């Protein structure tokens, strides 16, 4: 009895290994998420990047509950000024006596939030424009792609100079004082991701358009039309799921770019406005003290930017390999 | 009785840089309810374009459908319908099965989602009712443990299984007409037979009319009530299945049948291929489009006149100026002179 059952089960195992041609494969690994995880796991750097990113995310999420907010305190400012890393201030302090650890922890929140928000704007607009453009083709495609070209050719600095009127803290005037400062900083938090997103969507839309062009040639799109589906339904139900993988990969890498971009803008003073703090504002003016021996002020925020971008790029690489249907066994 | 589908004077052309490609030239045919019609022809003969034109799935431009063309389905001209009216017919009244089951299912959606799509669209079923019906349909097309396979993705099915799923999707709303565009071409021979058997069974159970498009005369033989042969965008011969095989009257059909290997052929008969290539569809010859390849051709007559479909026997029509049968001897050297005089050429109006 036992022998015969073993004989029966043996070929089914072979069938599983043989792949799809056996017809009915009813193993329980059929969830796509599971298969994806199996492939993702093999990419060691991606797993490392994921763990690193989760830690950084937890720092941004929970850090502010542990580390006090860095506020300029005139009483202790001169005593603490430019003190090197110590037990009380593991990352040292800056020229204003602010704890660099505090700057990094509070900056993580804003930097990550802003970069992700800008990425969502870029991916949202880019996917919409890309699908519509690729699906309809013709003059719709031509118009949308020229609009994309216009957005691509606008220099970032030019837009920021225009936007700086709304972004940068107004010079203190008689009465408005701190209210104006508060307004400018919240405005910068919303406006900056919008500006970054609106300047980066053309790259996403070109990617999505090219994928859409190849997907719409496939027979299942004609099949959906033969079934009586409307254009909108075909785009949402049939094309969107097919373009989502490359968008996820591109989106991940865009977050990395955005973190660098935000740091660069805030460093120049066109980005996030104090009292909100990002990694870019934490770096601002640090170069003046760098020559005087205060390396920790610039090093720690910079190191965190490096770590985050590295982690995100590893994740992006892993996603690219794991989501690419050609890598399926 | 009024036929279910009647195609009158269908002309389809494609605008290209090289000129107007006349893919379908004045095609007329009908299909009764519950009937199976086979459309046979080689690549580029206009079979698929005809079916896509009926469904109005051709992108216009580049496709141009002649304004006098009519596709009468259940009394209404599909070519004149508004887009949203046409969408209600697609999938519900006329459904389609495509050639390649590998690409005609969306790889990122589950089978269940794809089958229930048209049920929700046309029958307005809710999720539970739709998936109940989907299980029924999968059982109907012979997929084992159907309820467990709704959540599977297309890559977990074999080619034959996918084609079964496609058929289940096509019959989900009980269409009156099923257009099968080369449904077995991408499958291996044993699966081919299974799929044809399935189509036959469904036709009996559901009473659906089937338009079976293929380039394989063997596929249509056991399956179809009537067969029409297309060449260069025209119907060149139409008859019931048996007479067409037993007594083909158009040199092209005779050529096609001669080029099929037969198990019962004695000795070492060589297969006789049809020489040459189909004509250039941009500049069609003024005479018979098959003339340059025809074994029986009489150049002077054949190049002068496009042969119309004419009745050669009861219910059997062929587009040839001469009365040619399988027994007609093939001339050794193509005759330079006119054998038949103009009076011998019988002409009957195409209908």
Q: Residue A208 — very low, low, confident or very high, per pLDDT cuts 50/70/90?
A: very high
**Mean per-residue pLDDT, B91-98:** 87
Q: Are residues B125 and B252 in the same domain?
A: no
Query: Chain B residue closest to A222 (CA)?
Result: B57
pLDDT at B347: 44
Query: Per the domain annotation, does B232 fall within a domain?
Result: no
Let me know whether B178 and B91 are in one domain: yes
Angle at B86 (CA atoms; ends B85, B89), nearest 5 degrees: 100
Distance CA B289, CA B282 (A): 12
Residue B231 lies in a domain: no
Number of domains in chain B: 2
Contact B87 A228 (CB under 8 A): yes
Q: Supply the pLDDT for residue A3.
A: 43
Interval B166-205: pLDDT, tens: 888 888 888 889 998 888 877 788 888 888 888 888 888 8
Q: Distance (Å, rounded) from C-alpha A267 to C-alpha A288?
A: 13
pTM of the model: 0.76
Query: Is 3.10.450.50 the CATH number for A41-68+93-327?
Result: no
| Same domain (yes/no): B217, B92 | yes
Residue at B233 is within a domain: no
Q: Among A174-188, A286-300, B54-68, which range has the highest average pLDDT?
A: B54-68
Check whether residue B203 and residue B301 sit in a common domain: no
Partner-chain contact A241 B57, CB within 8 Å = no
Q: Is the pLDDT of residue A29 over 60?
A: no
As a whole number, mean pLDDT of residues B113-141 equals: 86
A105 has pLDDT over 80: yes
Of B122, B156, B160, Cβ closest to residue A30: B156
Residues 6+ apart with CB under 8 A from A2: none
Q: Say yes or no for a CB contact (<8 Å) between B103 and A220.
A: yes
**Based on the domain organization, do B280 and B161 belong to the same domain?**
no
Q: What distance in Å separates the CA atoms of residue B133 and residue A5, rounded to the nearest whole number?
A: 36
DSSP A310-322: HHHHHHHHHHHHH
Looking at residue A126, what is its pLDDT? 93
CB under 8 Å to A240, separation ≥6 — which residues? A127, A131
How far from chain centre, in Å, is Cα B45?
A: 10
DSSP symbols for A245-312: HHHHHHHHHHHHHHHHHHHHHHHHTSSS-TTS--HHHHHTTHHHHHTTT--HHHHHHHHHHHHHHHHH
The answer to whether B325 and B286 have CB atoms below 8 angstroms apart is no
Q: What is the pLDDT of residues A130-166, one digit of tens each?
A: 999 999 988 999 999 999 999 888 887 778 777 777 6
Across residues A105-115, what is the average pLDDT? Answer: 87
Asked if residue B285 and residue B185 are part of one domain, the reply reads no
Both B220 and B275 in one domain: the answer is no
Q: What torsion do the CA atoms of A284, A285, A291, A294 make, to the nearest 10 degrees? A: -70
Least confident of A171-180, B142-151, B158-167: A171-180
Q: Are residues B76 and B210 in the same domain?
A: yes
pLDDT of B208 higher than 50: yes
- From the list A20, A228, A237, the residue facing B88 with the nearest CB is A228
**What is the pLDDT, as a whole number, of residue A180?**
54
Assess whether B165 and B63 both reside in one domain: yes
Average pLDDT over residues B215-240: 85
CB pair distance less than 8 Å for B107 and A242 = yes
Measured CA to CA, the distance from residue B210 to residue B32 in angstroms comes to 10
- Given pLDDT bands bounded at 50, 70 and 90, which one contains residue A124? very high
Q: State the average pLDDT over residues B206-234.
A: 86
Residue A258, judged by CB atoms within 10 A of its CB (0-12, 13-18, 19+), counts as buried
CATH number of residue B27's parent domain: 3.40.50.300
Query: Tens of pLDDT along A37-86?
Result: 888 888 888 898 899 889 888 888 887 888 777 777 777 766 767 677 77
Are the Cβ atoms of A241 and B109 closer than 8 angstroms? yes
Q: What pLDDT was estimated at residue A167? A: 67
In whole angstroms, what is the distance from residue A280 CA to residue A265 CA? 7
- With H, G, I as helix, E, B as strand and everything else as coil, classify residue B222: coil
Nearest chain A residue (CA) to B55: A226
Tell me which residue range forms the domain holding B304.
Answer: 242-261+271-351
Residue that the structure tokens 């003059």 belong to: A139
Asked if B90 and A223 come within 8 Å (Cβ–Cβ), the reply is no
Which chain B residues in 17-76 lie under 8 Å from chain A, judged by CB atoms? 55, 57
Q: Are residues B81 and B193 in the same domain?
A: yes
Looking at the fold, whether B12 and B140 belong to one and the same domain comes out as yes
Kindly list the residues from chain A whose CB atom is less than 8 angstroms away from the CB atom of residue B121.
Answer: 227-229, 233
Spatial CB neighbours of B186, under 8 Å, sequence gap ≥ 6: B99, B100, B101, B102, B159
How far does B347 lie from chain A, in Å, by closest CA? 39
Does residue A194 surpass a pLDDT of 80?
yes
Closest CB to A241 among B104, B108, B156: B108
The confidence score (pLDDT) of residue A209 equals 94
Residue A12 C-alpha, separation from nearest chain B C-alpha, in angstroms: 15
Confidence of residue B125 (pLDDT cuts 50, 70, 90): confident
Q: Same domain for B299 and B176?
A: no
**How does pLDDT run across B47-75, given as a tens digit for each residue?**
888 888 888 888 877 888 888 888 888 88
pLDDT tens across A222-269, in order? Answer: 888 888 888 888 898 888 988 888 898 889 889 888 888 888 888 887
Report the DSSP pairing between strands B234-240 and B226-231. Answer: antiparallel
- Strands B63-65 and B70-73, sheet pairing: unpaired
Give yes or no for A30 touching B (CB within 8 A).
yes
The answer to whether residue B341 scores a pLDDT higher than 60 is no
- Residue A98's contacts (CB-CB under 8 Å, 6 or more residues apart) are A70, A71, A72
Tell me which of A325 and B53 has the higher pLDDT: B53
Give me the phi and psi of A117, to 5 degrees please: -60, -45
> Would B306 be classed as within a structural domain?
yes
Residues of A within 8 A of B88 (CB-CB) are 228
């Amino acid at each position: 009895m036992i022998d015969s059952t073993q004989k029966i089960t043996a070929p089914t195992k072979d069938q599983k290994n043989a792949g799809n041609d056996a017809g009915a494969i009813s193993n329980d690994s059929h969830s796509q998420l599971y298969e994806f995880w199996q492939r993702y796991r093999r990419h060691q750097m991606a797993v490392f990047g994921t763990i690193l990113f989760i830690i950084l995310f937890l720092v941004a999420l929970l850090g502010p509950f542990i580390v006090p907010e860095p506020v300029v305190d005139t009483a202790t400012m001169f005593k603490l000024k430019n003190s090197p890393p110590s037990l009380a201030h593991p990352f040292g302090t800056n020229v204003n006596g602010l704890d660099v650890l505090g700057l990094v922890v509070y900056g993580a929140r804003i930097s990550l939030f802003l970069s992700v928000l800008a990425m969502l704007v870029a991916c949202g607009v880019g996917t919409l424009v890309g699908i519509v453009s690729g699906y309809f083709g013709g003059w719709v495609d031509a118009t949308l792609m020229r609009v994309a070209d216009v957005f691509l050719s606008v220099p970032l600095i030019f837009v920021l100079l225009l936007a700086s009127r709304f972004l940068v803290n107004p010079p203190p005037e008689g009465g408005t004082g701190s209210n104006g400062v508060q307004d400018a900083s919240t405005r910068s938090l919303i406006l900056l991701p919008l500006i970054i997103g609106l300047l980066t969507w053309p790259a996403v839309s070109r990617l999505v358009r090219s994928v859409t062009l190849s997907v719409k040639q496939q027979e299942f799109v004609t099949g959906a039309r033969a079934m009586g589906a409307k254009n909108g339904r075909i785009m949402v139900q049939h094309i969107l799921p097919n373009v989502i993988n490359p968008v996820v990969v591109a989106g991940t890498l865009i977050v990395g770019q955005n973190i660098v971009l935000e740091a660069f803008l805030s460093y120049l003073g066109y980005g996030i406005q104090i009292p909100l703090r990002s990694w870019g504002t934490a770096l601002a003016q640090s170069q003046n003290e760098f020559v005087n021996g205060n390396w920790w002020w610039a090093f720690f925020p910079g190191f965190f930017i490096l770590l985050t971008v590295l982690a995100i790029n590893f994740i992006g690489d892993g996603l690219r390999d794991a989501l690419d249907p050609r890598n399926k066994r | 009785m009024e036929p279910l589908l009647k195609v009158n004077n269908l002309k389809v052309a494609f605008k290209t840089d090289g000129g107007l490609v006349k893919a379908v030239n004045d095609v007329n045919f009908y299909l009764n309810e519950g009937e199976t019609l086979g459309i046979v022809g080689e690549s580029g003969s206009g079979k698929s374009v005809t079916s896509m034109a009926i469904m109005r799935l051709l992108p216009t431009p580049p496709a141009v459908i002649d304004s006098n063309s009519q596709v009468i389905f259940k009394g209404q001209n599909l070519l004149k319908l508004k887009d949203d009216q046409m969408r209600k017919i697609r999938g519900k009244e006329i459904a389609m099965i495509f050639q390649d089951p590998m690409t005609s299912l969306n790889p990122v959606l589950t089978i269940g989602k794809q089958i229930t799509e048209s049920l929700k669209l046309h029958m307005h079923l809710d999720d539970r009712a739709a998936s109940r019906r989907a299980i029924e349909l999968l059982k109907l097309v012979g997929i084992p443990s159907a309820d467990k396979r709704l959540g599977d993705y297309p890559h977990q099915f074999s080619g034959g299984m996918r084609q079964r799923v496609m058929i289940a999707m096509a019959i989900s709303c009980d269409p009156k007409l099923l257009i099968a565009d080369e449904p077995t071409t991408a499958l291996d021979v044993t699966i081919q037979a299974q799929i044809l058997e399935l189509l036959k069974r469904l036709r009996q159970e559901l009473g659906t009319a089937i338009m079976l498009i293929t380039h394989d005369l063997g596929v249509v033989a056991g399956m179809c009530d009537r067969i029409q042969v297309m060449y260069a965008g025209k119907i060149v011969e139409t008859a019931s299945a048996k007479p067409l095989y037993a007594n083909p009257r158009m040199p092209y059909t005779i050529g096609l049948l001669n080029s099929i290997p037969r198990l019962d052929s004695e000795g070492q008969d060589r297969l006789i291929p049809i020489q040459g290539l189909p004509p250039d569809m941009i500049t069609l010859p003024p005479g018979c489009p098959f003339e340059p390849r025809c074994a029986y051709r009489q150049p002077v007559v054949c190049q002068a006149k496009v042969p119309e479909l004419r009745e050669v026997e009861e219910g059997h029509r062929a587009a040839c100026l001469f009365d040619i049968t399988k027994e007609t001897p093939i001339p050794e050297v193509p005759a330079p002179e006119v054998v038949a005089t103009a009076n011998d050429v019988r002409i009957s109006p195409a209908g």
